[in-house]
């Protein structure tokens, strides 16, 4: 089967603690007012894509434990395929949401058993796998940065359709304090056809090679939980780009999707909020695929 979007990355079981007055200190127990369990990581991007009408799949080893079985059922309910070899454990993340941001602790699992992803019109993958994927994948490849490393040599992303990352990642990758300067360095130095940088409450900026910097302002939203907002942003951007929208229009839709995502608790709920993206975009006068 050929998918519209294949997300090659780990899906997590997210356990989100809500209503904390602050983060706990060592030796201290705090009581949360809410707990939300749901798919996280790559699953958020895949669910958001499915809610936007794309046939989507997660390509990663499938955990054969209680968390993996629960996660597989949750993805199936969203009509998202999970393809990969069987492994013993599933990545699990505990998320403590506070003041619109969050702190996270993740149990990671080995990743060296991943199979080549299935064919798709678009492949969303990690920064360090994007160049090789672009050389082998039949469709468009989108790279997402998710790391805590310092600046150094910029990656070779020749053949990659777009690099999507947040402002902090752009600064760390380039060593530049100014976000627009970091964007320019990434456009000039990576070889990606486009670079997109999310800026939280400031919206997003983007540029193509030899193109001007484009800005999409933020959309007013009640900030409840920022978990997975970048994953939802990426899904909406890919959806718009696959439909042939111009960079400025794709950027505006992705910013709107991110705003919808942060207005609900949990990344999975943010992904499901994409079901209302088209209606909200119409009210705002934004260009839509097929319109």
Q: What is the pLDDT of residue 149?
A: 44
| pLDDT, tens digit, 9 for 90 and up, residues 117-159 | 899 999 999 998 899 999 988 899 999 986 444 456 899 999 9
- Kindly state the percentage of the chain with pLDDT values over 70: 96
Question: How does residue 114 score in pLDDT terms, banded at 50, 70 and 90?
Answer: low
Q: In angstroms, rounded to a whole number, what is the distance separating the alpha carbons of residues 250 and 165?
A: 15
Average pLDDT over residues 158-174: 96
Answer yes or no: is 252 within a domain. Answer: yes
109 assigned to some structural domain: no
Q: Is 280 within the bounds of a domain?
A: yes
291 located within any domain: no
CATH (domain of 60)? 3.40.1190.20
How far apart are the C-alpha atoms of 24 and 159, rounded to whole Å? 45
Q: For 4-23, how does the pLDDT look when each residue is reduced to its tens digit (9 = 90+)?
A: 999 999 999 999 999 999 99
* 198, 204 contact by CB (below 8 A): yes
The secondary structure of the chain in percent helix, strand, coil, rounded to multiples of 5, reads 35, 25, 40
DSSP type of residue 164: E
157: DSSP letter: -
Which residue has better confidence, 235 or 136?
235
Residue 15 lies in a domain: no
Q: How many domains does the chain have?
A: 1
Domain that holds residue 200: 3-9+40-69+79-88+115-284
In a domain, 23, yes or no: no
**Mean per-residue pLDDT over the chain, rounded:** 93
| 25-67 pLDDT, tens digit each | 999 999 999 999 999 999 999 999 999 999 999 999 999 999 9
pLDDT digits (tens, 9 = 90+) for 61-101: 999 999 999 999 999 999 999 999 999 999 999 999 888 78
- Contact assessment for residue 72 and residue 60, using Cβ atoms and an 8 Å cutoff: no
Residue 242 inside a domain? The answer is: yes
Hey, what are 11's tokens? Answer: 């899906």
Q: Which helix (H) or strand (E) holds 15?
A: strand 11-18
In a domain, 28, yes or no: no
pLDDT of residue 183 exceeding 70, the answer is yes
Q: Tell me: pLDDT of 102 over 90.
A: no
Cα–Cα distance for residue pair 46/7, rounded to 1 Å = 6
């Amino acid at each position: 089967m050929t998918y519209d979007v294949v997300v090659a990355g780990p899906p997590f079981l997210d356990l989100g603690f809500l209503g904390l007055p602050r983060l706990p200190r060592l030796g201290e127990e705090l009581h949360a007012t809410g707990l939300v369990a749901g798919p996280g990581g790559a699953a958020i991007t895949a669910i958001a894509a499915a809610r936007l009408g794309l046939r989507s799949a997660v390509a990663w080893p499938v955990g054969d434990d209680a968390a993996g079985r629960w996660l597989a059922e949750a993805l199936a309910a969203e009509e998202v395929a999970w393809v990969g070899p069987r492994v013993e454990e599933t990545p699990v993340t505990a998320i403590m949401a506070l003041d619109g941001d969050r702190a996270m602790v993740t149990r990671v699992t080995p990743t060296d058993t991943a199979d080549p992803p299935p064919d798709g019109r678009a492949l969303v993958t990690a920064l360090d796998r994007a160049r090789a994927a672009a050389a082998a994948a039949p469709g468009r490849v989108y790279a997402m940065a998710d790391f805590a490393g310092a600046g150094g040599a910029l990656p070779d992303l020749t053949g990659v359709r777009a690099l999507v990352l947040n402002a902090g990642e752009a600064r760390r990758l380039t060593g530049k304090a100014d976000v627009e300067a970091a964007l320019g360095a990434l456009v000039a130095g990576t070889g990606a056809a486009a670079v997109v940088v999310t800026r939280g409450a400031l919206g997003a900026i983007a540029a193509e090679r030899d193109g001007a910097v484009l800005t999409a302002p933020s959309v007013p939203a009640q900030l409840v939980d920022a978990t997975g907002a970048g994953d939802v942003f990426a899904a909406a951007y890919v959806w718009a780009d696959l439909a042939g929208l111009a960079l400025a229009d794709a950027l505006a839709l992705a910013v709107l999707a991110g705003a919808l995502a942060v207005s609900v608790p949990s990344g999975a709920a943010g992904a499901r909020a994409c079901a209302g993206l088209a209606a909200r975009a119409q009210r705002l006068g934004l260009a839509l695929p097929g319109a």
